């Protein structure tokens, strides 16, 4: 891999955290994940749709694959499904950590994790690359919802 390329992996899973504990548990989980991901040089975006996650991870391939292996083994995830892997010219989520997927034309909302929960971040809009990957993530979340119905 050259310095100008990065590895991108997208997956979806179901959250196994009980609904009454979800806000605090996700805030703590995301705060820890952001710190761990930074140490690994991994960036990305996480869309949260009810109990459904769709996440894109970007970085060096060994680190991203190692992180994905840890996610697959994490008991807080169920039905982990690899959606895609690819080499891309650059990261599109270099400064992102997560977002909430919008429904029926609602906008995606960038989120900031705190130890006491999750709150919306100020919206700066997205680059064309981010919009394209977010659209793919949104489609993956919709397909998961359709499979449950």
pLDDT tens for 55-84 read 999 999 999 999 999 999 999 899 999 999
In a domain, 14, yes or no: yes
Q: pLDDT tens digits for 4-29?
A: 799 999 999 998 888 888 878 877 87
How many structural domains does the chain have? Answer: 1
In a domain, 12, yes or no: yes
In a domain, 77, yes or no: yes
In a domain, 21, yes or no: yes
pLDDT of the residue at 32:
82
Question: What are the residues whose beta carbons fall under 8 Å from the beta carbon of 6, sequence distance 6 or more?
Answer: 58, 59, 60, 87, 88, 89, 90, 91
In a domain, 68, yes or no: yes
Q: pLDDT tens digits for 81-111?
A: 999 999 999 998 877 655 555 555 666 666 5
Residue (of 58, 55, 108) closest to 77 by Cα position: 55
In a domain, 116, yes or no: yes
Question: What are the residues whose beta carbons fall under 8 Å from the beta carbon of 85, sequence distance 6 or more?
Answer: 7, 8, 9, 10
Expressed as residue numbers, the domain containing 78 is 6-148
Between the two ends of the chain, the Cα-to-Cα distance in Å is 41
| Cβ atoms within 10 Å of 47's Cβ, excluding its own | 23
State the pairing for strand pair 52-59/109-114.
unpaired
In a domain, 115, yes or no: yes
CATH code of the domain in which 39 resides = 3.30.70.100
In a domain, 1, yes or no: no
Give CA separation, 54 vs 5, 19, 131, in Å.
22, 18, 15
**Average pLDDT along the chain:** 79
């Amino acid at each position: 891999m050259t310095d100008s390329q990065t590895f991108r992996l997208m997956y979806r899973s179901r959250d196994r955290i009980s609904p009454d504990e979800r806000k605090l548990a996700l805030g703590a989980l995301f705060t820890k994940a952001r710190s761990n991901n930074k140490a690994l040089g991994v960036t990305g975006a996480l869309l949260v749709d009810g109990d459904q996650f769709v996440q894109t991870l970007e970085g060096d391939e060994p680190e991203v694959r190692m992180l994905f292996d840890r996610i697959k083994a994490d008991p807080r995830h169920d039905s982990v499904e690899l959606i895609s892997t690819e080499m891309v010219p650059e990261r599109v989520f270099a400064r992102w950590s997560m977002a909430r997927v919008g429904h029926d034309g609602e906008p995606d909302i960038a989120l900031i994790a705190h130890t006491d929960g999750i709150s919306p971040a100020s919206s700066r809009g997205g680059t064309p690359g981010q919009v394209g990957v977010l659209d793919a993530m949104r489609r993956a979340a919709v397909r998961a919802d359709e499979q449950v119905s």
